[in-house]
Structure 1
Amino acid sequence: MKRDRPHLYMEGGGEKELYTSPKRGDSGLPPARVRAAHAHKLEQAIGNALSEARRKLATRDEAVAEGERGFYLEFEIPAAERAAVDGLENKPKSIELVAVRLPEDGEDLISATVFVPEKSADFFVKKIKAYRDEDTKTGKPKNEALVARIEDIRLAALRSLFTDDMTLFPQAERQAWWEVWLREDRLGTFRAVAERLNVVLKEHIISFPERDVVLVLANEATMVRLVGNTDAIAELRIAKDTPSLFLEMGAVEQVEWAAELAERVNPPSILAPAVCVLDSGTTQGHVLIAPGLDPADQHAYDNSWGVGDSAFWNGHGTAMAGVALYGDLEAALSGNAAINLQHRLESVKILSPSDQNDPELYGAVTEVGITKAETCAPRRRRVFCMAVTSDIGLGRGRPSSWSAAIDQLCYGNGIHRRLIVLAAGNLRGDIVAAEYPDANDLAEVESPAQAWNALVAGAYTDKITITHPDYAGWEAIAPAGDLAPTSRTSGIWDRQWPIRPDVVFEGGNLAYDGVNPASAIDDLQLITTHFRPNVRLFDVFGDTSAAAALAANLSAGIIAARPELWPETVRGLVVHSAEWTPAMQGRFNAAVNQTQKMAMLRRYGWGVPDLGRALMSALNDATLMVEDALLPFRKDGSNIKTRDMNLHHLPWPRDELLALGDQDVELRVTLSYFVEPNPGERGWTRRHRYASHALRFAVKRSLESLQQFRTRINKAAEAEEAGAMGSAPGGDNWVLGSIRDRGSIHSDIWRGSAAALAERDAVGVFPVSGWWKEKPGLQRWDRSVRYALLVSIRAPGAEVDLYTAIANKLAVAVPAS
């Protein structure tokens, strides 16, 4: 159902003139034919086609199929007789012309494909027989205008529906993104068949008169099954999701495209939040950067460096800024709509323009850079974004001085909290296709992305289409929806350290020719702003740098829409909105135990976030946001003990859930909070020595009283205090269970019946140990901690209004439909 309701919140003109269209003249006489011979040829052709069509219809999978039974016929018509194409359609018989392919070089025949319902199978047979045997009143063969112009007829194949250049037709076994053009009012039919065949469809559609266009991930065999089991498909094209068009433009043409886009850009409000990019500086004079970046908001760690971007770093900062402001520029360049910027940019140059910083100083450099931006505009809401990483001194997730500095900056002494987005880091050196994704699982996330409080972005990719002729025969390494070939993971980290990455965003793909190491070709990358606009306006960009910039862009979108939310809540919404792609879900489904699930979680995090899901609910998919605080510890004599647990009684739509009975529903819970770091330990033999505290959540079970619920929580907390890893309640139809409890953000999904969910009306948030408790001498035990709790109820496919029921219990005004 449509997402058009904000998440619920608990606080704790032209002049007319006459016009007559010119009449179209007749296209001339049909080609001269030997009547009997031509009719005989076409009768044989259509007879063969119909025999094959009936054979295929007999094998149609009725458990999968949807829509009217029928088949496709392909007609060949001389190019000079193209006017006859329209005559192939007959609406009273529900015969529809669906696809026309113009002649390729050296050919002189048009290919026209027609959908024919089974009930109208003899339509063209009768037309041909009448041409053979009957005359008009003027003595000409009946139906001559059409039949004489037909050169041949055959049963259509998949390629008959493909209207792109045939050189782009995917190889037989190769998965590709297809543009599927659907016949009018058949989107639902197509989706039903695709779901039954487990075919991946992208969520968004483009609607035109008579056609809906969807993107489908499939190989040729799967597309054949889709065509054979539905009447929905009109034509097929390859999805052109590549930026090569813009990158191959000459400098003058790039200027024209950039200027056209700049005309459509509306600058952000003076009160808009910002993405502060900590990198190599930014070229503010770029026509697409200038609307979002005030010169006063450019800073440098060392003032002698200047604030502009650096050739030493290949303009990385300006590339980051372009994505942080616009996302992938390809979409904006290809469109014609106004671009209303909801956030602005800030730039802090933390990389020396002439050499590399000492990685051990990056924590201080980062802190100074952040302070400069905040001093300039102290009341501005912002998200910090940094894709600078180091592979020096990695230790399977153990904190570094840099990562601890990031945690401290996020925590802000418990007073001034910050949202910081980091890149997970990239594989270095040659990438070998045969080693994917094993090499990624063995390449650990780089510093400072082991920070607990930051939002860490890895990279996945949907970019698999290679159209540039220079790369004919090359293949993309990563399948659509899977991990980008350069993205690092926390697969080899010790078990007590956070899940990294938290989420993944588009980071582009690599291609290989079967012999040499993989290359980052333009077709498989994002497009962004070039740091030397006097040379060129656009550049390619990818990897986890692009992913981090996209994560910051989305985070700023949340802040712009809900500026009152805490940084912890914004981070929580990003993770809460994330979903595993079908490719990722397939890997999870293949996991046979918690260890294998954890390996997938450490590769993909919680999946791919979505701004719509992060901000808006639907009637049957309602999200409740809670911001609250608790005192985790108390002093008892000389000992520090755990103190408070918060029990949240949820405004549950109990009656609506009970009415759904056994229908499958989902409950998703995300808990986000910041910890105060203590990086002074070495060895990390005890898991409670780095974070100040930890929080966990548990959900009341359907057959559990509140007292039994409290008892279960207490036992789980006691087990964690004793050092048992992941003792918080799992199982009970939770997708992840106890493996969710790493770091300072936890998210999980429960699946079951609506009736069972109706009784799960309470969530407990409780503390477990940390150094605030373990080190009483530091006198932190009396500090309050705050958290964001996000709870979503989803009844996919059900026509049920859960949202209003919850809103009524909260006494919140419900938006009009």
Structure 2
Amino acid sequence: MAEGHLQHIFFHERPVSYPYRNRQSPRKQNYPPRDRVSHGNWLMHQFQKVWTDAKNINEAREAVALPVNHGVYLEFVSTPEYELAIRSLENIQLGIRLMNVRMMENANGKTERVATVYIPHGKEGFFLKKLRQYLEENTEKGKPRHEAFAACIDDIRLAVVESFWPYHEITSIPGEEPKWCEIWLNTDQDEDEAKFRLLASERLGIEIRNETLRFPERRVILAKVNRKQLEELIQSSDNIAEIRRADEVTSFFVELDNTTQSEWAEELSKRITVRVDSRVSVCILDTGVNNGHILIAPILKDEDCYTYHPGWGTHDHDGHGTKMSGVVGYGDLQTLLENSEPVELNHVLESVKILPPTGKNDPQLYGAITSQSISRVMIEKPQRKRIICMAVTSPEHTTGDGRPSSWSAALDELASGYLDEQQKLIIVSAGNVHGWDNYPDTNIVSSVENPAQSWNALTVGAYTEKTLKDLRKYNNGSTVAPKGGLSPYSTTSVIWDDKKWPVKPDIVLEGGNVLKDSLGCVQCEELSILTTYYKPFERQFDTIWATSAATAKAAWMAVQIQAEYPDAWPETIRGLMIHSADWTDTMKRQFLRGKKKGDLKVLLRTCGYGVPSLEKALWSMQNRVNLVVQAELQPFDRDKNGRYVMNEMHLYELPWPKDVLLSLGETEVFLRVTLSYFIEPSPGEIGWKDRYRYASCGLRFDVNGSDTKEGFLSRINAAMESDEDEPGATSVKWLLGPHNRNVGSIHSDVWRGTAAELAVSNLIAVYPVIGWWRERPWLNRWHKKIRYSLIVTLQTPEQSVDLYTPIMTEIRSKVPIAQQL
């Protein structure tokens, strides 16, 4: 530990839990004006017509011995610009299920909501009864019964292939030629999956993969189908919820002769000491790693090399995996080669080959491949604290707008520990931009690639400090990106809905620059990162660039933190990395459009929270103190009337040294808060709201500011009431503010104020907001707890001020068991 470095304070005081008090008033409904009689009669006629049409289709199929299902898929179409009453379209007890909800533009450019619903034969009376009651009966207030259900419906029609396909991907529906597609089944039962597999493969002759992805009320299976076969599946199966296209996946030392390179590598290897009892590892999912390299062999044993498919082998057939391992293992390899200091490595590597060695990749159910690969490694070495690193993306089938895919949802499920009760830190690359002439405009409109939209994964983009040292060598060329700016390679989430989807990338790290001259833009070794080469008999070193290089560096940083704090949770490691990040001045000049909070959007969704600092992530200082809380909270409960309600919030009294702060008076101090947790995903495309929200629940934080304790608790209680996740008014002048930060599963913000202001602002609350755990109680997860890591930093620019000692004294006086890890 360097002089001045102090370990973070892990705050073990139990939070005070306050129960939620329901004060919610009924919400106003918004319906289009309707002539009740004519509208009700038309809906009744239309429903009966499509039901008769469906019955005739089934009878015709049975007459020629074709398989049939036991119900009907219908579409309910909303009035343009109005919401459907989604809950009224489902009755689980009767087997009536909402399969998906899509937003579409009609011919006039207006937005329609379209819900696809499965209705078993004999249960159509559920809707006919509602329509009759809408026509004939009133509520106690004199309104038509079921007005919310009927008034917003503009059309009812039979479902077709497009009914199950994401609206923005309609053009990728297969034609006559079969294509690999994801079939999303509306079930989590093995029996239903087995029936579907038998139907598809035996009765319909469809090629199906063995892998299955499992989510709440969803199974995802890969099938090679054309449009006709998709139509057959819809007519034959009772469990089709969605269909999607499957993913397809992407100077000095280098210029030396191999003899000289080997001498450099051997000299470094002699200075390396690997901790023999290390229980900290990074698992690289890639093209395999060739561990015969003199610098890789000490940290990657043969027994730690795995492959998804036995026929692929564990070797690196491409070079990418070995490039990743050089950075994951050593961080800045060039600096280590250039000095003569001893190198102590506190971690080891693991490799899982998830890409085949020959030919073009067939589309795969990569979520299942990723899940099975990680599970195998964890079973083999369960004692290890493991960081998972993956720089493999699917640019061809990226959703482009932040919506989850089966692959990104699988990463969320893996990280959450839903399958094995083991939370995991998964670090993924954001994906790359391949045309640099219009930098940075191209980056702004280039979406983060699948599966990096994952909420729980730490998504890494790229920035660069790389510049050309000798312009004459490159005919007076120049770099595309300025020093300290966004790397030309890095994708962004600027074009996503910023009220719905996470900030991505989360952080940026060195990914290299691009050379620009009169002929265009090209990659350049001098502007890339030095690493290891996969064919050491040819040469020892190579270069790596783009978000792969940045992701490898992020994994190296994460494992340094894990080694220093072995009891830190994955949520905490992710939190510390984001908590330590900041934007460079160049990034601010590039992307900060003004001084309002809304002007931060482009900067935040281009560069994430900025460049993480390993020093800040690892250490506190006398004038910069990091408090870390690792706790769990039960967000929901069932009340005495059987309703599922919000349960509790956590309140912490921060151990601020009030006397020290008051003595500093108007001196500016810095408060940063980061809240990190993992959601359990529900990826079915059913509107992403109400009971079908993607997240199991959300968590939020707030600080009291100038509020009294009673006023603060009242404000938090009101925030918990809001189904729309609307924060209350606060005196705290956050840099980002709730509307920028309250998306995804990690939230970080900064408050700069006077020391006197902060002296009285010592209460921080962690509280839940609504999620599907509460809204879908039949899944029996409403009583589950969610873990979280809360990181709070208090800092003053006055380096002579000692905040650390009085904070430790305050903690020990209240909580004798509080200690540092």
Alignment counterpart, residue 497 of structure 1, candidates 497, 501, 504: 501
Alignment of 1:571-650 (within 5 A): 571-587=574-590, 590-636=593-639, 637-650=641-654
User: In the aligned structure 1, how far is the partner of 2:590 from the partner of 2:721?
Assistant: 34
Task: Find the counterpart in structure 2 of residue 681 from structure 1.
Answer: 685
User: In the aligned structure 2, how far is the partner of 1:810 from the partner of 1:274?
Assistant: 33
**Which stretch of the first structure deviates more once superposed, 359-368 or 383-392?**
359-368
* Length-normalised TM-score, structure 1: 0.68
SS in 2 for 1:578: coil
Alignment counterpart, residue 330 of structure 1, candidates 326, 330, 334: 334
User: In the aligned structure 2, how far is the partner of 1:524 from the partner of 1:777?
Assistant: 55
Q: Deviation digits for residues 654-699 of structure 1, max 9, x if unmatched?
A: 1111111000010000000000000123443659610000000000
Task: Find the counterpart in structure 1 of residue 405 from structure 2.
Answer: 400
SS in 2 for 1:389: coil
Distance 1:359-1:397 versus aligned 2 partners, 3 A rule:
farther
Alignment of 1:110-189 (within 5 A): none
Task: Find the counterpart in structure 2 of residue 186 from structure 1.
Answer: none
* Length-normalised TM-score, structure 2: 0.68
Distance 1:356-1:689 versus aligned 2 partners, 3 A rule:
farther
Alignment counterpart, residue 715 of structure 1, candidates 679, 699, 718: 718
Alignment counterpart, residue 302 of structure 2, candidates 295, 314, 322: 295
User: In the aligned structure 2, how far is the partner of 1:683 from the partner of 1:4?
Assistant: 49
Distance apart, 1:606 and its partner CA:
0.7
User: In the aligned structure 2, how far is the partner of 1:286 from the partner of 1:646?
Assistant: 51
Distance apart, 1:395 and its partner CA:
3.8
Q: What letter is aligned with 1:416?
A: Q
1:514 pairs with 2:499: no
Distance 1:742-1:591 versus aligned 2 partners, 3 A rule:
same
Distance 1:544-1:767 versus aligned 2 partners, 3 A rule:
same
SS in 1 for 2:326: helix
Structure 1, unmatched stretches of 5+, are 13-243
Distance 1:492-1:731 versus aligned 2 partners, 3 A rule:
farther
1:422 pairs with 2:428: yes
Alignment of 1:217-236 (within 5 A): none
Distance apart, 1:390 and its partner CA:
0.4
User: In the aligned structure 2, how far is the partner of 1:661 from the partner of 1:687?
Assistant: 49
Does the 8 Å contact 1:698/1:728 carry over to 2?
Answer: no
Q: What letter is aligned with 1:398?
A: R
User: In the aligned structure 2, how far is the partner of 1:769 from the partner of 1:452?
Assistant: 16
Alignment counterpart, residue 363 of structure 1, candidates 357, 364, 367: 367
Q: Report which of the two structures shows the higher radius of gyration computed on alpha carbons.
A: 1
* Poorly superposed stretches of 4+, deviation over 6 Å: 812-816
User: In the aligned structure 1, how far is the partner of 2:743 from the partner of 2:576?
Assistant: 18
Distance 1:587-1:645 versus aligned 2 partners, 3 A rule:
farther
Task: Find the counterpart in structure 2 of residue 279 from structure 1.
Answer: 286
User: In the aligned structure 1, how far is the partner of 2:398 from the partner of 2:811?
Assistant: 51
Does the 8 Å contact 1:688/1:769 carry over to 2?
Answer: no
Q: Deviation digits for residues 454-496 of structure 1, max 9, x if unmatched?
A: 1111101111134275313111111111110010011111221
Alignment of 1:757-772 (within 5 A): 757-772=758-773
Distance 1:588-1:654 versus aligned 2 partners, 3 A rule:
farther
Alignment counterpart, residue 442 of structure 1, candidates 442, 445, 449: 445
User: In the aligned structure 1, how far is the partner of 2:283 from the partner of 2:803?
Assistant: 38
Does the 8 Å contact 1:505/1:547 carry over to 2?
Answer: yes
Distance 1:264-1:469 versus aligned 2 partners, 3 A rule:
farther
Task: Find the counterpart in structure 1 of residue 563 from structure 2.
Answer: 560
Q: What letter is aligned with 2:329?
A: L
Does the 8 Å contact 1:730/1:737 carry over to 2?
Answer: no
Alignment of 1:184-333 (within 5 A): 244-311=251-318, 315-333=319-337
Does the 8 Å contact 1:384/1:419 carry over to 2?
Answer: yes
User: In the aligned structure 1, how far is the partner of 2:765 from the partner of 2:817?
Assistant: 27
SS in 1 for 2:648: coil
Distance apart, 1:815 and its partner CA:
12
Q: What letter is aligned with 1:363?
A: G
Task: Find the counterpart in structure 2 of residue 737 from structure 1.
Answer: 737
Q: Deviation digits for residues 319-348 of structure 1, max 9, x if unmatched?
A: 001100011311111111111111110000
Distance 1:375-1:282 versus aligned 2 partners, 3 A rule:
same
Q: What letter is aligned with 2:564?
A: A
SS in 2 for 1:290: coil
Alignment of 1:57-136 (within 5 A): none
Alignment counterpart, residue 547 of structure 1, candidates 550, 554, 561: 550
Q: Quick one: higher RCO (CA 8 Å, sep 6+), 1 or 2? A: 2
Does the 8 Å contact 1:463/1:509 carry over to 2?
Answer: yes
Distance 1:794-1:729 versus aligned 2 partners, 3 A rule:
farther
Distance apart, 1:780 and its partner CA:
0.9
Distance 1:616-1:750 versus aligned 2 partners, 3 A rule:
same
SS in 1 for 2:442: helix
User: In the aligned structure 2, how far is the partner of 1:450 from the partner of 1:735?
Assistant: 24
Distance apart, 1:585 and its partner CA:
3.4
Distance apart, 1:503 and its partner CA:
0.6
Task: Find the counterpart in structure 2 of residue 147 from structure 1.
Answer: none
Does the 8 Å contact 1:420/1:455 carry over to 2?
Answer: yes
Q: What letter is aligned with 1:388?
A: V
User: In the aligned structure 2, how far is the partner of 1:628 from the partner of 1:291?
Assistant: 37
Task: Find the counterpart in structure 2 of residue 142 from structure 1.
Answer: none
Does the 8 Å contact 1:273/1:381 carry over to 2?
Answer: yes
Q: Deviation digits for residues 53-93 of structure 1, max 9, x if unmatched?
A: xxxxxxxxxxxxxxxxxxxxxxxxxxxxxxxxxxxxxxxxx
SS in 1 for 2:334: helix
Distance apart, 1:2 and its partner CA:
6.1
Does the 8 Å contact 1:276/1:347 carry over to 2?
Answer: yes
User: In the aligned structure 1, how far is the partner of 2:617 from the partner of 2:663?
Assistant: 28
Distance apart, 1:718 and its partner CA:
2.7
Distance apart, 1:717 and its partner CA:
2.7
Does the 8 Å contact 1:698/1:729 carry over to 2?
Answer: no
Q: What letter is aligned with 1:308?
A: H
Alignment of 1:342-361 (within 5 A): 342-361=346-365
Q: What letter is aligned with 2:421?
A: I
Distance apart, 1:775 and its partner CA:
1.2
1:412 pairs with 2:413: no
User: In the aligned structure 1, how far is the partner of 2:424 from the partner of 2:276?
Assistant: 21
- How many residue pairs match? The answer is 574
1:784 pairs with 2:788: no
Q: Deviation digits for residues 285-340 of structure 1, max 9, x if unmatched?
A: 000001111110000000111101013xxx00000011000113111111111111
SS in 1 for 2:417: helix
Does the 8 Å contact 1:804/1:814 carry over to 2?
Answer: no
Q: What letter is aligned with 2:264?
A: W
User: In the aligned structure 1, how far is the partner of 2:679 from the partner of 2:689?
Assistant: 19
RMSD after superposition: 2.0
Q: What letter is aligned with 1:700?
A: N
Task: Find the counterpart in structure 2 of residue 172 from structure 1.
Answer: none
1:341 pairs with 2:348: no
User: In the aligned structure 2, how far is the partner of 1:363 from the partner of 1:418?
Assistant: 15
Task: Find the counterpart in structure 2 of residue 171 from structure 1.
Answer: none
Structure 2, unmatched stretches of 5+, are 15-250
Task: Find the counterpart in structure 2 of residue 669 from structure 1.
Answer: 673
Task: Find the counterpart in structure 1 of residue 176 from structure 2.
Answer: none
Distance apart, 1:641 and its partner CA:
1.1
Q: Deviation digits for residues 16-73 of structure 1, max 9, x if unmatched?
A: xxxxxxxxxxxxxxxxxxxxxxxxxxxxxxxxxxxxxxxxxxxxxxxxxxxxxxxxxx
User: In the aligned structure 2, how far is the partner of 1:683 from the partner of 1:415?
Assistant: 28
